[in-house]
A and B are shown apart, each in its own frame.
Chain A
Amino acid sequence: MTDQLMNTPVGVPFAMTNGNRVPAARYFDRDFARLESERLWSRTWQMACRLEEIPTPGDYVTYTIGDQSLIVLRLDETTIRAYQNACRHRGTQLAMGSGSFRGGQIACPFHGWRWNLDGTNSFVYGEGAFTEYVADPLELCLPQAKVDTWGGCVFVNLDPGAPPLQEALDPMPSLLDPLGIDLMKVVWWKAVDLPANWKLAMEAFIEGYHVMASHPQITQGQFDDYNPDALAYEVHDNGHSHYINRPGAQRSQRRKVDYLDEVEALIDASRILCEGLEAMTLPSDLHVIETLRHREVAEDASLGSELVKVIYEHAAQQGIPLPKLRGKDLMKWGGVFFVFPNYFVLPQYGNALCYRFRPVHGDPERCLLELWSVSIPGANDDIGKPELQGPFAPDDTDHWPLIPLQDFANITRQQKGVHNRTFVNTRISHIYEVGIANLHQEVDRFLAQD
């Protein structure tokens, strides 16, 4: 395979010049990170919070990207706003962390200036001494960022001229919406402070090519017999990509004796995911899958269709409104969907694991990764406000199960390795790692814009 030549983006340092190599400096160069801050993070739609975090008018979270901070606020049942988090007086941050503004007021702790939840100024202490500034109420309104919702999340964009969210996300909503991800609520939410560039860290999740070597428990002893072509990779416009299990790659042998072997293999694999990831396959799903052992099936039954049946029977019993899926949507269970620039959805049954990666301000070699296990609640399940656990260290065995520990260890070692003076660029597969090239090419598209 010859290198895939590309048009080099003008004015972008360490630009992607072909689709098979990523210049290593993109993972540690400070000027490159600064350019990302100025031209990428300031212009892209980013997942700011889960909707469950702000259920009641007045509830807010602060969203930080680099040195910029927004207050994401529920104004009323149908309206969410994102305000620039700086007092218009002398710049003090009006909110920190998350909480609820009470009495309909956002108050600055420094001199007591206040705003209504709609962003209009409501109080200037000693107002008479500020005539020039308070004369124009618009000057004191909290500036807004763009805000919209998708998939159970609030998205924000710092660029007033940005395209609508649905346009930027295309085609990911059309792929994921049928799975009911907007119905899913947070089961747990954890963060890890990774000593790695945000892109490098994300790349470990954009491909499944690493599973054979990094997660031997998942391959159940197949090692390099594990078929790298069992996954089908696809890249999209706007930097997005996804991969799913290739149709037919896990086909049942359709013979009773083999069927029961397959059932045991599925139970083992499900237990590894349930215990090793604590998401996607939840303990209740594992229990359901274990019932396949004793389930009467037709002679020509396939494991895949029996699995789907028991999952839907369980959902019906629990009052879980799992959407009815067509075959091609069922194939998305167990897939990985990357939403540019920094969000992932990994759907499975009525659940998903979601990731968000953010650079840590000022350091191109640190990022914060948050993980949400989400699930469509049953009729009797309570939905509370999710609470972040962590951030924990990447090698904290008390707080991370097996599979993330394996990924975090790789990421930590790779970030050190890319500094090696003989290592100029990565070498990536045009099939298994095509999503990585797609990510970097979309980054460059933003970096090339003044």
Chain B
Amino acid sequence: MPNVRVDPEGIVISLDPPESLIEAAWRLGYYWPTRCYGQAECTACHIEIVEGEHHASPIGAEEAATLATMGPRGRQVRLACRTTFDGDAAVYKRGVRVAE
């Protein structure tokens, strides 16, 4: 299973594709910032891929439309609710922690 490291905390999430990064985090008992809960609407779950970008799933139309609302950004910015990985990677996301 691909391992994705979430900086700055260094939490490692093991994905079971096709589940998205946020779904893997939920499955493993982590809190991940979101408002819409996986509907690709709110952008609160967005990540910046810092390593292994080539392992990220392609951007679909729904995600592209929502990313476009975020204004200028690096091309490594993705939604955790619409991104999965087929190999190891590292992302930057503040606020991820063990759920209460």
Contacts and interface: CB of A to CB of B under 8 A. Distances in A.
Contacts of B34: 103
Contacts, number: 32
B23 A103 contact: yes
B23 A102 contact: yes
What range describes how many residues of A lie at the interface?
10 to 19
Interface string A101-141: 11101110100101000000000000000000000000000
A107 B37 CA distance: 7
Nearest to B62: A99
A56 to B, nearest CB: 11
Nearest to B25: A103
A99 B39 contact: yes
What range describes how many residues of B lie at the interface?
10 to 19
A100 B41 CA distance: 13
Nearest to B38: A102
B37 A102 contact: yes
A101 B37 contact: yes
Interface in B38-70: 38-39, 41-42
A105 B81 CA distance: 13
A103 B38 CA distance: 7
Contacts of A106: 37
A99 B60 CA distance: 15
Nearest to B36: A107
A102 B81 contact: yes
B38 A100 contact: yes
Contacts of A101: 37-39
B35 A102 contact: no
B22 A103 contact: yes
Contacts of A103: 22-23, 26, 34, 37-38
Interface in A65-110: 99-103, 105-107, 109
A105 B37 contact: yes
Enumerate the 9 nearest inter-chain pairs by beta-carbon distance, A residue then B residue, closest first: A102-B38, A105-B37, A103-B37, A107-B37, A103-B26, A102-B37, A107-B36, A112-B35, A103-B38
Given A102-B22, A103-B23, A106-B37, 7 more contacts: A102-B23, A102-B26, A103-B38, A107-B36, A109-B35, A109-B42, A112-B35
